[in-house]
Every structure is written in structure tokens, then in C-alpha cells.
Structure 1
Amino acid sequence: MRLIFAFLFISYLFTACSTFVPVKRTLPPDIKLSTQKGKFLFISRFSADSLPFSNDNKIEVFRIGYNSFIEGLSAGFDSSRRYNLTPLDGMVEKTAVTEPGLPLDKVQVNNICQGQQVNYLLALDAYNLYFDQEVEVVKQEDGTKERTAYYDLVAESFISMYDEEGKLLDQFRDEQRIAHDERSVISGLLAVGPSMGKADQNAVLISSKLGRDFIQKFYPRVIFEQRQFYHTKEFKNAYRSYLSENWDTTESELLKITESQKPEIAGRAAYNLAVLYENINRPEDVDYWYRKATNLLGNKVPILK
């Protein structure tokens, strides 16, 4: 028991020496073109009239959601100065519904692109709306369990991208979701889910955003992740300046500490520098200082993703 307590106490001291800070990362575009501009033709293989169910209200929600997706897709391209999208109807048979079918024929795509004088063709292979359910179980003080079912409405699209020669370049499956409903679950029974036929408002919201966001695939994306950062007294000034986004001060403070005669302190400073350089997009410096931190701290160095 004493050994376990000592181990837990040491673990606490180690983790208490560091906290988490945000790190900004820039990801490359999902779609990389050989030129900075491109003319795109868009065709849809989806048809609400071919949906495999007979509920008129549900079909109408699919139709409304699909139209919102198309409007969002067009609005996204309209906001771009680099890329132009031209919708074209009636060029292919609308057989695909909620799941994608086979790719378009290469010769057919080539003929369409040449006839319309475009560089690329985007094809909506399928569009779908569905509810995603998650059940939460909470144990009450009297020992009974209370179950609640949470429902997200999900809009899903499948888009294929072809070049002007008819070659299939890529396929994209994307989704948008929104918290839609929650219901109590009677023990031993399945929860009766919400009606898709009454989900028109949320279907419009997420479908429009799903379409509008497609244009972002052509541009770099910025995301934020969490990294460990040492913040004990030696690093107090560096930590504060990092949170204030004063990168020059953070760098100068940490560089001074890397000269410490104590390997542990110097190693932690080197690690903090690697985090800083990752945040300001200096990958060579990240590699250099993380290697130095690893040499000084060994297996105690936090992992950089």
C-alpha cells in the first residue's frame, strides 16, 4: 500500500509540474490542384423520388435538406475567387440515393468535361439524413438506473471528383450533425426515436452548412490541439508570455533556461521550446529541440503528436 501511495504521489508531482496550452496547427488542403484556379462542373446523382420509403413527410424533409445542401455548395464556391462551379442537370442517370453506387464511366466524364470546357467534375453520389442515438445510463441513489436516449440529426454527403480526362481523383464522405432530441428510456424497452418527417428545420441548417463547407477542402485549415507545457517557477515568465501570445518573449525566456546546469530543467525548457515552435510553425526547430529534450529527459519527455 505504501509503495502504491508513493507511486501515485510521485505521478502527481510529475503531472503537477506541467499544464496544457493550445497549439495552432495548419493542415494542408484536402484537395490540391496543379493550378491555383479551376472550373468545376457539378452534377447530382441523387433523386428524392427514388428514396426507398413511402412516408411523404420524410421524403419531403430529404428533398428540402438536399436542396439546402445544393444551395450551400453553390454559396461556398461563390465566395471563392479561385474556383468556379457550374451546376448541370440531366447529364447522368439519377440512380444513387442514400449510398454511393459505382463511379461514373471515364469516357462519359471526359465527354462531359470537353463539351462544357471545364477542368474538373464533381458528382454528388449520395445524400442521406439519419438519426444517431446514444443512451446515457445514470445510477440513482436508490440503486435504480435512469436511461436517457440522445439523438443527433446527421446530414451525410458522398462526392466524387474527376479530372477532365475522366480519371477519378478522390471521393469524399462528409457529415454535419446537430443535437436534435432526447427521450427517457423505459427499462427493457427500446426508445421510440424522433420523426424524420418533423426534422425539416434542423435538416436545412446542417445540410446548408455541409454544402457550404466543401469549398474549405481547397484551402489550408487551422486547428488547435492541446500540448503539455512546464509551468513551475523556472518557467513562470515563459508560461505567462505564451498565454499572452508574446512569442518572442517566450522564446528568449526558454532559450536562457536551456543553458541550465540541471539536465532536468534544461530538458524541460527544450521541450517547451519544441511546443512553442510547433505553435508558430517552425518544424525544423521543433525537431531539434524535441530531440534535445528527449536526450535530457529520456522517457519522461511528454509526447508530441
Structure 2
Amino acid sequence: MKLLKLICILFIAGLTSCNVVQYATVPVDYAPKLVFRTDTARILVVNHVVFDSTRMNKRKIMALKAAAYSAITGAEKELKLLPGVKISSIVDSVSFSANKDSVKHLAAKYKANYVLTLDAFNAGLVLDNVQYDGNAQIAYYSTKATVAFTLHESNGIFFKKFKGIATEPQDGRFGYSIDGAARNAALDALKDYLPYTITNYRPLYNQSDQLALSVRQILAGRFDVAFKVLNPIIDGPDPKQASRAAYNLAVVYEAQGDIDEALDLAKLSNQKQQNDYATTLIAALIKE
């Protein structure tokens, strides 16, 4: 059972009154879209990237090598957390030289089921905007990184290509670092193999004593009590209250991970009486 937290947003109307909208924080866990073919996947990580010394100075190449290595280690760290995945690497963090051996040879040599190669990497500063403070100009930058991986099977024939991109705001007062963007770009590239969580913020109806009681139960994680409060209202004679109760109950089911039941309740809410909360929830649940 997931714990829901209370978020209150105050909308100030004039100087004397305000309306409090209560939100439930509903985390939704997503399983990886892709899985490895073997129960124990031994993945060898290899660098194929070569930086052109005729087009870049030594300092820039060193910075790019360090960031590319951060991208690789970030990918390794997340992949290691997957069940049955074992990671080994032959990437030299000092020279960061490209390995030219065949994938099939490396897989056999290191007894790997898969070989993950870093094929391309680039990163740098991007100007976001310029603001004027009196007579001074203040420039705001982000670091941007792009990566390309290929996941080869041990036979060297079958493979999948992945590309990732990430940006990270920077505060120039403390210098600039592209490592964070590099790691996030690697995770973006491999996201289909990684589980992730999205947190949804669902507004709740509380404009009656019974609805307010249901909100308190939902926010406390007492979903069984909330169900007992809301179910009679859904079957009651007031279509407006029934619609709102059905919506609140849809949030309860979403919080418990029952997306199908949550979608049915959100649709029932709109059938009882059309409302924006249910319409928005229906669209979100279809995507989930």
C-alpha cells in the first residue's frame, strides 16, 4: 500500500478568504519495457568513441573523455541493479581509448552474453537566456549531453541502438560541469531497460462532509475506509456528489496500482456528471 502525502495549495481570493485544494501524491511504478534474453545477463561495456584531436584542443578532449566516462559508469550503476545482470568493463578511465576488437571476440574472451558499446558522445554549454539587471547582463546556461549506445548479442550479429539526451541547468558562480548531464543522457538512452517511477498529483473533491471524510482517509492511506465512505455516495441520488465520489475512488484505485478499476471509476464519474478532474484522469490512466 503506497503512502499518500498531503499537499495544500492556497488560492487567495481578495484579502479575507481562501480555498484549499487538497492533492494526493500517487506514485506509479513502471516496469522496464525491454528485458535481456537470459536469466543471468553478463554485459561487457566497451568504448568505441574517438575524439578528433584535429578539431578540438587537448583541454576540451580531456573534459569530454571524463564526461563520457561518467556516462558509462552511470549506465553501469543502473544496469547492475537489474535482477540477474552482471556488469564488467574494459573502459580505461585514464586514457579512455577506443577498443577496436570485434564484438564476437570480446564476448568470447570475457564470457559475456552482451556487449554494450558507447558509439558517440558529445557535450557542452548551451545558452538558455539572457536577463538584464539594471545595466548588467546575466547569462543563464545549461549543459547538454548526447550519447549513443549499441547493445550487441554475443554472436555479434543481433543488436539494438539507443540514443539519449539530457540537459542540466548550471550556476556559473560555481563553475560548469557536464558530468551530470552525461550520466542522465546515458540513462535516457537505456531507459527502456530500466524501471522508473512517476509521481502524479491528483486533486481531490472535499466540498461536503462525506467527501472531506474520504479525503482524510485517502491521505492517511486508509483506502478500505475511504471505499466504505465513497461507495454509498456513488449509488446515491445526487449526480454531482456521485460524480465527485466516483472520481475520489478512482484516485484510491490508482494509488493501489489497479489502473483498470481506476479508469472504470473515472469514466463513471463523467457519466454521473462531466467534470475536468475525471477527464484529465482518464487521459492520464490510458497512458499508464
- TM-score higher than 0.5 here? yes
Task: Say whether 1:285 aligns with 2:285.
Answer: no
Equivalent of 2:72 in 70, 73, 87: 70
Gaps of 5+ in 1: 1-15, 94-107, 183-193
Counterparts of 2:87 and 2:172, CA distance in 1: 36
| Structure 2 SS opposite 1:153 | strand
Corresponding residue number in structure 1 for 2:9 = none
Task: Say whether 1:302 aligns with 2:279.
Answer: yes
Do the aligned partners of 1:23 and 1:227 also contact (CA within 8 Å) in 2?
yes
Do the aligned partners of 2:152 and 2:159 also contact (CA within 8 Å) in 1?
yes
Task: Say whether 1:130 aligns with 2:130.
Answer: no
Equivalent of 2:85 in 56, 60, 83: 83
**Cα RMSD (Å):** 3.4
Counterparts of 1:136 and 1:239, CA distance in 2: 45
Task: Say whether 1:113 aligns with 2:107.
Answer: yes
After superposition, the Cα gap between the structure-2 partners of 1:136 and 1:270, relative to the gap in structure 1 and judged at 3 Å, is: farther
Tell me how far 1:111 sits from its aligned partner.
5.4
Counterparts of 2:197 and 2:245, CA distance in 1: 26
Corresponding residue number in structure 2 for 1:44 = 47
| Structure 2 SS opposite 1:242 | helix
Equivalent of 1:258 in 234, 238, 243: 234
Do the aligned partners of 2:217 and 2:226 also contact (CA within 8 Å) in 1?
yes
Task: Say whether 1:274 aligns with 2:250.
Answer: yes
Tell me how far 1:135 sits from its aligned partner.
1.4
Deviates more, 1:281-290 or 1:205-214: 205-214
Counterparts of 1:24 and 1:257, CA distance in 2: 26
Counterparts of 1:51 and 1:277, CA distance in 2: 57
Counterparts of 1:252 and 1:205, CA distance in 2: 47
After superposition, the Cα gap between the structure-2 partners of 1:302 and 1:74, relative to the gap in structure 1 and judged at 3 Å, is: closer
After superposition, the Cα gap between the structure-2 partners of 1:237 and 1:212, relative to the gap in structure 1 and judged at 3 Å, is: same
| Structure 1 SS opposite 2:178 | helix
1:58-101 CA distance string (max 9 Å, x none):
222112222333344444455556211222466538xxxxxxxx
Structure of higher RCO (CA pairs closer than 8 Å, 6+ residues apart): 1
1:179-220 CA distance string (max 9 Å, x none):
2328xxxxxxxxxxx9xxx74xx2345545666898875442
Corresponding residue number in structure 1 for 2:25 = 22
Amino acid at match of 1:121: V
Task: Say whether 1:226 aligns with 2:201.
Answer: yes
After superposition, the Cα gap between the structure-2 partners of 1:216 and 1:51, relative to the gap in structure 1 and judged at 3 Å, is: same
Counterparts of 1:145 and 1:242, CA distance in 2: 53
Gaps of 5+ in 2: 1-18, 92-97
Do the aligned partners of 2:165 and 2:186 also contact (CA within 8 Å) in 1?
no
Do the aligned partners of 1:76 and 1:215 also contact (CA within 8 Å) in 2?
no
After superposition, the Cα gap between the structure-2 partners of 1:154 and 1:112, relative to the gap in structure 1 and judged at 3 Å, is: same
Amino acid at match of 1:159: F
Counterparts of 2:42 and 2:238, CA distance in 1: 60
Corresponding residue number in structure 1 for 2:11 = none
Do the aligned partners of 1:68 and 1:204 also contact (CA within 8 Å) in 2?
yes
Tell me how far 1:39 sits from its aligned partner.
1.0
Task: Say whether 1:171 aligns with 2:162.
Answer: yes
After superposition, the Cα gap between the structure-2 partners of 1:298 and 1:38, relative to the gap in structure 1 and judged at 3 Å, is: same
Map 1:166-245 to 2 at 5 A. 166-175=157-166, 177-181=168-172, 199=176, 202-207=177-182, 218-233=193-208, 234-245=210-221
After superposition, the Cα gap between the structure-2 partners of 1:171 and 1:215, relative to the gap in structure 1 and judged at 3 Å, is: closer
State the TM-score, normalized to the length of structure 2: 0.73
Amino acid at match of 2:123: L
1:210-258 CA distance string (max 9 Å, x none):
6689887544212102223212123111112222233222222222321
State the TM-score, normalized to the length of structure 1: 0.69
Counterparts of 1:247 and 1:36, CA distance in 2: 37
| Structure 1 SS opposite 2:273 | helix
Counterparts of 1:157 and 1:173, CA distance in 2: 5
